[in-house]
Amino acid sequence: MANKTNAYILSKKESGESDLVVTFYSNTFGKIDLFVKSARKSKKRFQGKLENSNQYSIEFVKAKKINSLNSLTSIEQAKNIRFYEFDKSIYIYRSIILEMIDKFEIDNQPNSEVFSLMDFFYLNINSNNEIKKIKTTVKTINKYLKINGVQPTIKKCYSCKKDLINIKFFDLKNGGSVCNKCKLKNKPFILNLNKPINTKTLNRDFNYLNNLLIILLKFCEYHSGKIFNSVKYLRVI
């Protein structure tokens, strides 16, 4: 009996000579790995259907053997999201969000908030406005961290609650911006910003938003214990 659900593709890896293992995040089953037989040579069956640019309606059958992967049997677009062609920043931001969810989520634990957040991201990232795209990405990461109970404090010192005009230091361990006085308490976990982020103009300054995005990804790395490969792309946006 086939299982049906809507899902986004998080990642893909090659298996054997022509197969793929595709990691999906679905609204019904959460994060799942599915075996896709002959995906790399079957042009008619899977052509254009295994890209991470759309939400899909998928069907899969459970493996008969223990410790074997379930198999994808059908995949069709659930939403036709038309991204701006050859938009490098959309590709990078999408890679960041998909990598974050892939590395934080545990297999087979569905969360409707996470799936809805992916809907939000895919709907709003499709823009030719660079500020909107990076704000959408920062907002998505913040919301995701909130869902997981680790949302950092940005515009106030997390320790003394003082409003900050300029963010100069960020405490990775305790999760938040920190003032000069309070930073001495947890010095080994402090990020020192070469260029302070002005909180008054943060939402309309691309460079400030880009720096904040890097900080959030470093925070994700610290709390997941995993390296985020997508961080390196931010230097070339």
pLDDT score at 45: 72
**Domain 88-236 adopts which CATH fold?**
de novo design (two linked rop proteins) (1.20.1440)
Q: Tens of pLDDT along 100-119? A: 999 999 999 999 999 999 99
CATH of domain 3-79: 2.40.50.140
Encoded tokens for 150:
């680790």
Strand partners, 7: 26, 56
Provide the pLDDT for residue 131.
95
Angle at Cα 160 formed by Cα 159 and Cα 162, nearest 5°?
Answer: 120
Domain ranges, ordered by start, for the chain: 3-79, 88-236
- Are 191 and 178 spatial neighbours (Cβ–Cβ below 8 Å)? no
Highest mean pLDDT among 35-44, 67-76, 153-162: 153-162
Please give the C-alpha separations between residue 154 and each of 58, 142, 172, 209, in angstroms, as whole numbers: 39, 10, 12, 12
Among 57, 70, 60, 80, CA closest to 9: 57
pTM: 0.90
